Amino acid sequence: MITHYANLELLTVSIQGVKQFYEKALHLEITNETTEFIQFRLTPYSTLSFKESYEPIKPAHFAIQVSYQLFTNAVTLLKKSGVFLLAQNEGNPIDEHNGRKNVYFRDCDGNLLELIAHDYIHENKLKSYGKLNALYIREVGFPVKDVGKFRSWLKETFSMKTDEDDDYFNFVIGGTAYAVVVSEKRPWIPIAMKALPPNIKVTLGTPLPLTNQQNFINSGYQFSLVHTPEFQHSFLQDLRLPPDCY
């Protein structure tokens, strides 16, 4: 039973650049910092980490779920911080469709970030956090050569689910954690950015006690499981998530 992304670790060519963007522009709290590593508190249950690298960076895509009621506040924060918002439909940076709002932007390493909000999410138990009004890390992108094989591995290894299976683009879901499994031939919207496989480490939270293997590697992606009893399974029902999520 996966409930959430507990940590997402990416590579960076500049710890100072990351610090300026995530602390100063996104107003995230630093929880750990060395000369080659920095970690930020996104919510009480999730962190973003960056490790310095001397190799070229393949940009990642990830999405942060924010409060629907406070979505405009989060976008205003980005604008006031000088973050450039990427154009979507008809040149508008904000897209709204069927109770969903989102906006895209990039960080100092070229990673493609998204703020996304849904009107069906109930925020009675899981409160928005910080000036960004974040709820959780919703999506992490996984470009792969074989979507079907990677999708099946996620299902078998972590008991994640899909609403429907597609060999070009798939949401593979565990609680609030959406793995966006895409073909390397499919570019990331809204800027048609090439979907190159990034060097990332993903930590998945589970309320269940762990008795077996906790570290996994597939298609170059590193996964680990961590016992997080504080993120209760009941949160998923309280959020009114679709049945596919748990």
Ordered by start, the domain boundaries in the chain are 4-245
Closest CA to 102 of 130, 142, 61: 61
Q: Which two tokens stand for residue 13?
A: 């060519």
Mean pLDDT of all residues in 89-96: 92
Assigned CATH for 4-245: 3.10.180.10
What is the structure's pLDDT at 62?
98
**Separation of alpha carbons 49 and 55, rounded Å:** 17
**Residue 161 CA, distance from chain mean position:** 17
Which pLDDT score, from 0 to 100, does residue 126 have? 87
Report the distance separating Cα 111 and Cα 89, nearest Å: 21
The pLDDT tens digits for 109-128 are: 999 999 999 999 998 878 89
Chain mean position to CA 244: 18
Of the pLDDT bands very low, low, confident and very high (cuts 50, 70, 90), residue 1 is: confident
Contacts of 82 (CB under 8 A, 6+ apart): 25
pLDDT at 243: 73
Antiparallel, parallel or unpaired: β 112-118 and 134-144:
unpaired
Tally of CA atoms within 13 A in the half-sphere of 78 that contains its CB: 23
Residue 80 makes CB contacts below 8 A (sequence gap 6+) with: none
- pLDDT at residue 25 in the model: 97
Q: How confident is the model at residue 232 (pLDDT cuts 50, 70, 90)?
A: confident
Tens-digit pLDDT profile for residues 167-215: 999 999 999 999 999 999 999 999 999 999 999 999 999 999 998 779 9
Helix spans in the chain (H): 15-19, 71-80, 147-158, 234-238
d(CA 43, CA 135) in angstroms, rounded, equals 7
Please name every residue paired with 174 in a beta bridge, in sequence order, or none if there are none.
Answer: 177
Q: How far apart are CA 52 and CA 182, in angstroms?
A: 26
